Structure formats: structure tokens, C-alpha cells
């Protein structure tokens, strides 16, 4: 068995155990593979054993992997900071969902392109539940009004919320981030906004996805636990200062 297959079995078991803890159905949690820096042949390996939901952080990587992955049907979510000048490429290179919608200028730009291409896009709203200034996302206090504003763009299908929790060894602090996202989901659901559905909560990564599942995650985004550690620090992908695309890896 390959290392990827081994790791996937371990992750599956962890997901199943977490679901059991809180009496959730295993089917209520989707496993998204975070494939940043992972080469297409390794992603194809995961596809072959049935894992076809992936997430990329950079438009440049989406473009580079497009040809090598297109032979296998799969679902591609964008989970990184999206610059408005990359919107055209996101639509061109097969992204099925943008999980990181976090500003009106981006919603506006997406809407314009989608209208002109006669398309729609599924989106999740990224919320900065940790309050760390280095992380992207709408402030929790602004989340409800942000969703209301975005819901006026008919091309954008809001399907839920996404967050990157606090990085901390203190799991109860991490849990508060997940709980906050869940409470925002409930709050927004109650508004019954036209065209807005709140079925997805994308939260939890390699080191904290069990807690996220306990708090209601429907999508967990797992990279390291499946593909091993990356050479680039995550700050390269997440921090304001370094988030500009630096070209190919
Ligand atoms: C890299 C990444 C993940 C996965 O992180 P791991 O710790 O490798 O599991 C999840 N979400 C986002 C937004 C990421 O950039």
C-alpha cells in the first residue's frame, strides 16, 4: 500500500471516531484534500482510490496542475486568498467552489465575470474566527451583514461558512473558533435569506479536525496528515504580507 493510501485510512478512522463521539453520521462529513505543493501524480494517486475532492490555495498552482488532473473527474475548491485580478483564471481553470470569499470587492468582480460568462459559482464565506490580524476572512461581527450583501449577487450561490481556526496547542481555545462559526451559521440560517443556504461548515485541518467535527464541521480540509509536511511554511499561504502570488513553486 502506498503512503498516501495508508495515511488516508488513518484519517478516515479519525473522522469516523470523531463522528461516533458526537453521534454524527459519517456521511455528514466530507474530506477535502488540501493539495497545495502536492505534485499532480500524487493527487492522481488519491483520485484513484476514490478521493476526488481537493482544495488549492493559489491560482498559479491551479493553472499548473490543470492539464495533469483534468483526465480524472474531480471537484476543486479554492481555499486560499483570491486576488481580484485572478478571478478570470479561477473561472477558466475548473474551480467548482470558492471557500474564501471575504470581501465585497471580490464578490463584485466575481459577479461581473460570471454574468459575462453566463455562469454561477458556489461560494463559502470565510470568517476570521481567531481574530488574528494575519488571517483573512470577514470579522465575526460583520459576517451577517456581509452575507446579506453578497446574497444580492444572483450569480453567487452561498452555501455556508469557512474558517481557519487559531493555531494553538490549547484545544479549548481552538474549539471556541469552531463554535463561533457554528453559531454564525445558525444565526444566518434563521434569517432565511433568499438564495442563501448554510449547509456547509468548512473547518478543521490535520491537527484539529476531530474538534471541528465535534463542533459541526461538514467539510474538513486535510493536507499534511495525508501528503506529509510541506517545505513552505503556512504563513506563505495565509499572511497578508506574503500572500501575493510569487509565481510557480
Ligand atoms: C493547507 C491548508 C489546510 C490543510 O492544512 P494541514 O495542516 O496540512 O492539514 C486547510 N485549509 C487551508 C485553508 C489550508 O491552506
For residue 31, the cross-strand partners are 220
- CA–centroid distance, 35 to ligand 1, in Å, is 8
60 pLDDT above the threshold of 70: yes
pLDDT at 245 over 70: no
Helices (H), 74-221: 87-92, 104-117, 143-150, 171-191, 209-214
Only one residue has cell 495508508, namely: 6
CA distances from residue 242 to 13, 61, 142 in whole angstroms, order as listed: 35, 16, 25
Nearest atom of ligand 1 to the alpha carbon of 32: 10
pLDDT at 101 over 70: yes
C-alpha cell at 144: 451577517
Q: 78 CA to middle of ligand 1, Å?
A: 12
Q: How far apart are CA 56 and CA 42, in angstroms?
A: 14
- Any long-range contacts for 154-157 (C-beta under 8 Å, 24+ apart)? 154/111, 154/120, 154/195, 155/110, 155/111, 155/114, 155/115, 155/119, 155/120, 155/121, 156/101, 156/107, 156/110, 156/111, 156/114, 156/120, 156/121, 156/123, 157/120, 157/121, 157/122, 157/123, 157/195, 157/197
Q: Please give the Cα distance from 26 to 12 (Å, whole number).
A: 10
For residue range 115-174, what is the model confidence (pLDDT) as tens digits?
999 999 999 999 999 998 878 999 999 999 999 999 999 999 999 999 999 999 999 999
Residue 135 confidence (pLDDT): 80
Give the torsion sign (CA, 141, 199, 220, 247).
Answer: negative
Q: Cα–Cα distance between 71 and 83 in angstroms, integer?
A: 28
Q: What is the DSSP letter of 123?
A: E
In tens, the pLDDT along 5-47 reads: 999 999 999 999 999 999 999 999 999 999 999 999 999 999 9
Ligand 1 atom closest to 222 (CA): 9
pLDDT given for residue 46 in this prediction = 98
pTM of the model as a whole:
0.93
Residues having CB closer than 6 A to ligand 1 are 34, 36, 57, 79, 164, 205-207, 221-225, 237
What's the CA-to-centroid distance between 205 and ligand 1, angstroms?
Answer: 6
Backbone angles phi, psi at 150, to 5 degrees: -65, -30
Amino acid at each position: 500500500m502506498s503512503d498516501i493510501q495508508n495515511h488516508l485510512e488513518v484519517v478516515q478512522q479519525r473522522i469516523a471516531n470523531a463522528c461516533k463521539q458526537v453521534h454524527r453520521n459519517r456521511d455528514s462529513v466530507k474530506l477535502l484534500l488540501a493539495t497545495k505543493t502536492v505534485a499532480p501524480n500524487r493527487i492522481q494517486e488519491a483520485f484513484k482510490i476514490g478521493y476526488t475532492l481537493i482544495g488549492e490555495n493559489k491560482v498559479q498552482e491551479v493553472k499548473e496542475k490543470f492539464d495533469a488532473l483534468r483526465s480524472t473527474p474531480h471537484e476543486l475548491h479554492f481555499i486560499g486568498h483570491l486576488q481580484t485580478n485572478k478571478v478570470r483564471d479561477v473561472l477558466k481553470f475548473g474551480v467548482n467552489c470558492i471557500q474564501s470569499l471575504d470581501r465585497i470587492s471580490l464578490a463584485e468582480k466575481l459577479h461581473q465575470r460570471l454574468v459575462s460568462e453566463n455562469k454561477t459559482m458556489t461560494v463559502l464565506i470565510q470568517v476570521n474566527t481567531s481574530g488574528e490580524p494575519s488571517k483573512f476572512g470577514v470579522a465575526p461581527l460583520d459576517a451577517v451583514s456581509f452575507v446579506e450583501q453578497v446574497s444580492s449577487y444572483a450569480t453567487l450561490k452561498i452555501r455556508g461558512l469557512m474558517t481557519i481556526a487559531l493555531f494553538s496547542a490549547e484545544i479549548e481555545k481552538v474549539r471556541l473558533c469552531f463554535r463561533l462559526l457554528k453559531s454564525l451559521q445558525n444565526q444566518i440560517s434563521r434569517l432565511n435569506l433568499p438564495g442563501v443556504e448554510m449547509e456547509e461548515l468548512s473547518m478543521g485541518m490535520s491537527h484539529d479536525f476531530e474538534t471541528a467535527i465535534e463542533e459541526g464541521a461538514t467539510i474538513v480540509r486535510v493536507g499534511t496528515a495525508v501528503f506529509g509536511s510541506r517545505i513552505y511554511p503556512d504563513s506563505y499561504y495565509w499572511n497578508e504580507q506574503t500572500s501575493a502570488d510569487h509565481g510557480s513553486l
